[in-house]
Amino acid sequence: MKIYKGYKFRLYPDKKQIELINKTFGCVRFTYNYFLLKHQKDNTKRKLINELKELQEQNPFLKEVDSCALRCAIFKLEDSLKGRLSKKAEPPALKRKYVKQSYQTNYMTYTYNGKKYSSIEIDLKNRKIKLPKLGQIGIKGYHNKKEINGDIINATISKETTGKYYVSVIILEDTLPNTKVEPKKVIGIDLGIKDLITTSNGEKFVNKKYAIINEEKLQRLQRKLSNQERNSKNYFKTKEKIARAYATVKNSRKHHITNIINKIVKDNDIIVSENLEVKKMITVNKNKSAKNIADASFYSICNLLKWKTKLQGKYYYQVDTYFPSSQICSRCGYKNLKIKDLNIRTYTCKNCGLEIDRDINASINIMFEGLKQHYKS
């Protein structure tokens, strides 16, 4: 089985490389905006790429940067223009300078003096990456990995608003033959706002407090920014603080979730969760920042479960959006449709008398529902 995998490394460019990267951002923005504006004036269908050479002749500085990056930008523009015609998608917007900057470049091979070269090379042993025009740049990340096997597809070089540089490399990897494990252990998981994950084994994983604290700090800063004079010195100071707080929230959340999911997938063979759509509809929680985190977390949890189980030959099922997991008694199957209040933390069964934590009860029901799917398939 072949799968696309993304690797994101921190980049450590030297002074000259920083200059060239920033120049490339500028040239990509220039090219993209040029063709977008031109297209708005005259939207007859044509291949924009054929006009790049002409633009480069008129603006020689465009020849100093990775030309593949310029072509990628044009292809993206053509795609979004096409998308707009067919699906009524959002019209493409001009690229701006004061947001996250990035450019993409594709993997290419060429032969020179009988020797084969490729435009992007990763050397994990020496922690270096070779990128077009930039040459070798130091990288950090995936310190446990000795090598990456697979075909490099493309690389995206970016500069976060925090001023740090990164490269994301997409690689088509050959994974082990997709042999399914003999399932022995099954687990159901319930996703929630207070307790992020509750399992049918009775385990609870909470949302890390610091993520919520940071999220609240973030909202405070955003309010502050809206009161500040646009483009003033303090405005940009607040903007940078926001970028840093945002990065902290995102990274700590990602790390936390990955750890939990790794453990769950390692210990179980059949994993069942709810469909993520269910949870999106629940907006009873007054703490908005907690809810924001939960929304983003649910998405990454389901996504991680999907491909981690696939990679390890395990099974992942999602139960139907309308499956009433919190209304059914997990011991006798009695259904109490009156249970709607999400503030009641205990499930009490009128039929058999079972008293159980609401989320654990739900996760057990989810587990059984997933098992049904497993044996049907």
List residues binding Zn ion (CB under 5 A).
329, 331-332, 334, 349, 351-352, 354
Question: Minimum distance from CB of 295 to Zn ion (Å)?
Answer: 32
- Judged by CB, which is closer to Zn ion: 6, or 333? 333
Sheet holding 128-131, edge to edge: 101-106, 151-159, 165-174, 2-12, 135-140, 128-131, 121-123
Helices (H) and strands (E) in the chain, counts: 8, 16
Nearer to Zn ion, 335 or 372 (CB): 335
Residue closer to Zn ion (CB basis): 176 or 337 = 337
Decide if 32 contacts 73 (C-beta within 8 A).
yes
**DSSP assignment, residue 142?**
-
**CA distances to 287, 310, 338 from 187, in Å:** 29, 16, 27
- By beta-carbon proximity to Zn ion, the closer residue of 199 and 361 is 361
Task: Give the shortest CB-331-to-Zn ion separation in angstroms.
Answer: 5
Cβ nearer to Zn ion, comparing 6 with 202: 202
Shortest gap between Cβ of 369 and Zn ion (angstroms)?
16
Report the SS3 class of residue 250: helix
Residue 287 CB, shortest distance to Zn ion, in Å, is: 32
Smallest separation, CB 355 to Zn ion (Å): 10
Both tokens assigned to 156: 């995206």
151-159 and 135-140 beta bridge pairing = unpaired
DSSP code of 122? E
User: How far is it between the farthest Cα atoms of the chain?
Assistant: 82
* Nearest to 208, CA basis, from 153, 254, 175: 254
CB of 315 to Zn ion, least distance (A): 28
Q: What is the DSSP string of 5-53?
A: EEEEEEEE--HHHHHHHHHHHHHHHHHHHHHHHHHHH------GGGGHH
Cα dihedral 357, 360, 362, 368, rounded to 10, equals -140
If the CB atoms of residues 124 and 354 are measured against Zn ion, the closer one turns out to be 354
- Nearest approach, Cβ of residue 330 and Zn ion (Å): 8
Nearer CB in complex with Zn ion: 268/361: 361
User: Least Å distance between CB 342 and Zn ion?
Assistant: 20
Judged by CB, which is closer to Zn ion: 224, or 331? 331
